[in-house]
């Protein structure tokens, strides 16, 4: 017989506990101490009970895609956070999800990790319909959000052991996985220190380790290196690379363009809840021309004059960066444009400190595409 929310044995307890002012965290702790499985508890709290006789709905993924999204929409009032999003993530790959603040990246991650119901559309994770069988989806995924979700009053070792208990793992399994993760994330020496004494980079590593206690086949990383210094960011990149080599599929949201360029096999750019571009880093860079001429003036006060002089030289208008003191020109014929730019500046008496012909960066692709989206909204 199918079980509904109303007749589930946990429903009454959670309703009474909520009336008494207990937080969800307090309710979860009490029930797990009494032996209830974490997935059963979350199903009730999220107002979604899984029928006892439910079958896993297998949906054929596109080209061995372990994540498949079709026409997902989610709105908050009149604001469309996700507007007809579709994408596929091949098994064992890294998908980089890029976009400015408010683009919809975190909303999509919340949908795919069962934390938010879409208004319409279909999301399939590991062959399971996210909206219909969220509890089963959670058995296949790990999530590290924008902020480290660890208990600062527990040691690093205790944090990992707690996650193992929430998964109802056997004691010997918890011990083995905790030790393995502490070693893999270079936290052995700090294992018995409270997390509040950890640096920002160590906290992020511990948070990532906690997301792997359940050995998920898919890992969602929502801006995992935000706020980290360059060294800590590089160390975390190496950890993520190692996970992918071991077969983990990663969906990564980030605002760091070099991060996506370094880690992602494929990149999807989102703006205003819509996919505005997708492909490999090389394919995206090819969208803005064959190359970029970069010029550095000796006298930055004459940047505007130089930019006006160079309009029409390249494939697109010259762009000035007042802070860095250089001018960039997207070009098709790089060598010819470089020579012409030098000739024009020399004739006008503008001295160059440096000049370079290079490939476009992912930052330039991102800026061009998001600027186009902003123009279309006006």
Any idea what the CATH number is for the domain that residue 353 is in? 3.30.70.100
> Of 270, 257, 284, 261, which is closest to residue 105 (Cα–Cα)?
270
* Same-domain status, 209 and 297: no
Positive or negative torsion for Cα 141, 145, 148, 150: negative
Residue 59 in any domain: the answer is no
Q: DSSP readout, 317-353?
A: --EEETTTTEEEEEESSHHHHHHHHHHHHHHTTPPEE
Element (H, E) at 113: none
As a whole number of angstroms, the longest Cα–Cα distance in the chain is 86
**pLDDT number for residue 47:** 47
Residues 6+ apart with CB under 8 A from 77: none
- Residue 107 CA to its chain's centroid (Å): 11
**pLDDT number for residue 52:** 38
* Same-domain status, 269 and 295: no
Q: Are strands 274-279 and 291-297 parallel, antiparallel or unpaired?
A: unpaired
Report the alpha-carbon angle 281-282-283, nearest 5. 95
Domain of 72, in residue numbers: 65-283
The answer to whether 106 and 222 are in contact (CB under 8 A) is: yes
Residue 243 in any domain: the answer is yes
Residue 56 in any domain: the answer is no
Residue 233 in any domain: the answer is yes
CATH no. for residue 118?
A: 3.40.50.300
Phi, psi of 152 (to 5 degrees): -65, -20
Which of 217, 251, 283 delimits the end of a domain? 283
What does the pLDDT average to over 107-130? 93
Residues 6+ apart with CB under 8 A from 117: 111, 131
Residue 58 in any domain: the answer is no
* Same-domain status, 40 and 91: no
Q: In what order do the strands lie in the sheet with 218-222?
A: 141-144, 218-222, 249-254, 94-98, 266-271, 274-279
Cα dihedral 114, 87, 100, 253, rounded to 10, equals 60
Question: Around Cβ 48, how many Cβ atoms within 10 Å?
Answer: 16
Which of 283, 301, 318 delimits the end of a domain? 283
**pLDDT number for residue 29:** 62
Give the pLDDT band of residue 193 (cuts 50, 70, 90): very high
What pLDDT, in 10s, does the model give residues 28-68?
Answer: 667 766 777 655 665 555 444 333 333 444 444 456 889 99
* Same-domain status, 29 and 162: no
What pLDDT, in 10s, does the model give residues 73-117?
Answer: 999 988 999 999 999 999 999 999 988 888 899 999 999 999 999
* Same-domain status, 147 and 205: yes
* Same-domain status, 92 and 193: yes
pTM of the model: 0.69
**pLDDT number for residue 48:** 41
What pLDDT, in 10s, does the model give residues 272-299?
Answer: 899 988 988 888 877 766 678 888 888 8
Q: How far is CA 276 from CA 83, 181, 224, 370, in A?
A: 11, 38, 23, 8
* Same-domain status, 211 and 178: yes
Task: Please tell me whether residue 139 adopts helix, strand or coil conformation.
Answer: coil
Residue 52 in any domain: the answer is no
Residue 315 in any domain: the answer is yes
What pLDDT, in 10s, does the model give residues 231-242?
Answer: 888 888 888 898
What pLDDT, in 10s, does the model give residues 319-365?
Answer: 777 666 688 877 777 778 888 888 888 888 888 888 888 777 777 77
**pLDDT number for residue 149:** 80
Residue 368: pLDDT over 50? yes
What does the pLDDT average to over 144-166? 88
Residues 6+ apart with CB under 8 A from 268: 87, 95, 96, 97, 98, 275, 277, 278
Which of 260, 283, 306 delimits the end of a domain? 283
What pLDDT, in 10s, does the model give residues 242-278?
Answer: 889 989 999 999 878 888 888 999 999 998 899 988 9
* Same-domain status, 219 and 103: yes
Q: How many domains is the chain partitioned into structurally?
A: 3
* Same-domain status, 296 and 278: no
* Same-domain status, 322 and 227: no
- β partners of residue 294: 328, 356
């Amino acid at each position: 017989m199918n079980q509904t929310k109303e007749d589930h044995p946990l429903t009454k307890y959670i309703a009474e506990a909520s009336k008494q002012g207990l937080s969800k965290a307090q309710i979860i702790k009490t029930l797990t101490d009494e032996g209830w499985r974490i997935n059963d508890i979350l199903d009730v709290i999220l107002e979604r009970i899984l029928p006892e006789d439910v079958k896993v709905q297998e949906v054929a993924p596109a080209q061995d895609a372990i994540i498949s999204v079709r026409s997902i929409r989610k709105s908050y009032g009149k604001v469309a956070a996700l507007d007809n999003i579709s994408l596929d993530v091949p098994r064992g790959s890294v998908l980089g999800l890029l976009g400015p603040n408010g683009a919809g990246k975190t909303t999509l991650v919340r949908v795919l990790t069962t934390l938010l119901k879409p208004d319409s559309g279909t999301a399939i994770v590991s062959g399971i319909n996210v909206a219909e069988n969220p509890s089963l989806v959670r058995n296949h995924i790990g999530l590290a959000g924008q902020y480290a979700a660890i208990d600062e009053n527990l040691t690093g070792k205790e944090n990992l052991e707690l996650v193992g208990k929430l998964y109802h793992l056997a004691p010997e399994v918890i011990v083995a996985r905790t030790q393995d993760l502490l070693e893999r994330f270079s936290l052995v020496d700090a294992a018995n220190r409270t997390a509040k004494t950890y640096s920002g980079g160590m906290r992020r590593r511990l948070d990532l380790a906690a997301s792997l206690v359940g050995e998920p086949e898919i890992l969602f990383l929502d801006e995992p290196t935000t706020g980290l210094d360059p060294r800590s960011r590089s160390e975390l990149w190496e950890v993520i690379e190692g996970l992918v080599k071991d077969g983990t599929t990663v969906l990564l949201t980030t605002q760091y363009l070099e991060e996506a360029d370094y880690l992602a096999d494929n990149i999807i750019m989102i703006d205003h809840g819509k996919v505005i571009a997708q492909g490999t880093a090389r394919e995206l860079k090819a969208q803005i021309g064959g190359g970029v001429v970069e010029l550095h003036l000796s006298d930055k006060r004459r940047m505007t004059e130089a930019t006006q002089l160079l309009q029409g030289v390249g494939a697109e208008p010259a762009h000035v960066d007042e802070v860095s003191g250089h001018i960039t020109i997207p070009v098709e014929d790089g060598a010819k444009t470089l020579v012409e730019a030098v000739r024009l500046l020399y004739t006008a008496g503008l001295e160059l400190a440096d000049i370079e012909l290079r490939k476009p960066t992912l930052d330039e692709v991102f800026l061009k595409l998001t600027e186009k989206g902003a123009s279309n909204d006006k």
